[in-house]
Structure 1
Amino acid sequence: MRYRALFWAGALAFLLDQVSKYLVVHVMGVAQRGPIDVFPPLLVFSYGENRGINFGLFQGDGDTARWVLIGLSVAISLAVFVWLSRAPRSAVMLISGGLLIGGALGNVLDRVLYGYVLDFLNMSCCGIDNPFVFNLADVFIFAGALGLMLFDGKKPS
């Protein structure tokens, strides 16, 4: 019962990520239509296939790279879960961990199903043209990691 926040945050992050990808990529057909202006230039749906990590770093076309990234994501998710379960944690820490794990597993499912991660969000602002695309899982991973760092409850030494 103690880890209900972790479970529900992870499940919600995973579900929102997968539903958003399904709607934008498969229902709206962003891959076939091309970019879809939502609130240009702040938010544009633009199709991307990420075979690397965030921002397309460490791109690899082979099955080896794909399975290494899947294994790494699962290992990190398990490590975060074990770390959070070793001592009582605040609800904010558990929610942060859930967001990170749910986002990571959303990207893992993409790699298993497609061989790459589906990306569709592009954000530009203030005269800066951002060439990168990402997805909600990436947002959840970033927010979760940030929350784990900011709210770990340790006092600075």
Structure 2
Amino acid sequence: MTIYLSRARSVPMLKSGVGRWLAIALLVLILDQASKHTIEALFQFGEQLTIIPGFFNLTLAYNPGAAFSFLADAGGWQRYFFTALALGVSVFIVFLLKKHHAETRYALAMSLILGGALGNAIDRMLLGHVIDFIQIHYQQRWYYPAFNIADSGICVGAVLMVIDSFRRETPSEKTV
């Protein structure tokens, strides 16, 4: 992958190694933050816009906790805990990307998780909560908790990690 800044120059760091994976993480982060800012500018808290009736809405929700509003009512300490956790995990992921940059599926998974973790950490640091806006539901009977692009990156990355763990060669399978 080469990113062209102009017709004459490219960014050689992105051609191989860890740079291309960091670029994917940055793309997830940018898409996440841009979408959150757009939704927050267009919606009032709790407002919903039906996109696909009976299935998909856009809404503006705030989550002071973690996934599925875990610890949302914990009194405020969770903001710092989850921010520190996301930043610590992000540093570890960059280390893993440097070590495993040639393993495409694994590095892609780590990149998606990294971009998502940083996207939600930025919300927690600046706002004290995470902005969620994607709402999947069935009719008016069942609602999945609202989520965002960062959450999607983390989930897709986790699924890719599981797939990678099943498809990874063990030392006994490698041919000499």
The one of 107, 111, 123 equivalent to 2:120 is: 107
The one of 12, 37, 45 equivalent to 2:58 is: 45
Counterpart CA distance in 2 for 1:57 and 1:49 is 13
- The alignment partner of 2:116 has SS state of helix
Q: Find out whether 1:135 has 2:148 as its counterpart.
A: yes
Q: Find out whether 1:57 has 2:48 as its counterpart.
A: no
Report the counterpart of residue 69 of structure 1 in structure 2: 82
Report the alpha carbon displacement of residue 61 of structure 1 after superposing the two structures with TM: 5.1
RMSD: 2.2
Report the counterpart of residue 105 of structure 2 in structure 1: 92
Structure 2 residue ranges without an equivalent (≥5): 1-12
Q: Find out whether 1:19 has 2:34 as its counterpart.
A: yes
Counterpart CA distance in 1 for 2:88 and 2:54 is 37
How many equivalent residue pairs? 155
In the superposition, the TM-score normalised over structure 1's length comes to 0.87
Verify the 8 A CA contact 1:5 1:98 in the aligned structure 2: no
Report the counterpart of residue 9 of structure 1 in structure 2: 24
Q: Find out whether 1:154 has 2:164 as its counterpart.
A: no
Report the alpha carbon displacement of residue 54 of structure 1 after superposing the two structures with TM: 0.8
Structure 1 residue ranges without an equivalent (≥5): none
1:10-49 residue CA offsets vs partner (Å, 9 max, x unmatched): 01100110111111121x22427x1111112221012211
Identity of aligned residues (%): 25
Distance 1:117 1:5, change over 3 A: same
- The alignment partner of 1:134 has SS state of coil
Letter in 2 for 1:155: E
Report the alpha carbon displacement of residue 60 of structure 1 after superposing the two structures with TM: 4.0
Verify the 8 A CA contact 2:21 2:108 in the aligned structure 1: yes
Letter in 1 for 2:152: V
In the superposition, the TM-score normalised over structure 2's length comes to 0.78
Report the alpha carbon displacement of residue 94 of structure 1 after superposing the two structures with TM: 1.9
Verify the 8 A CA contact 1:92 1:147 in the aligned structure 2: yes
1:88-134 residue CA offsets vs partner (Å, 9 max, x unmatched): 53223222211110111000010111100001111013775215111
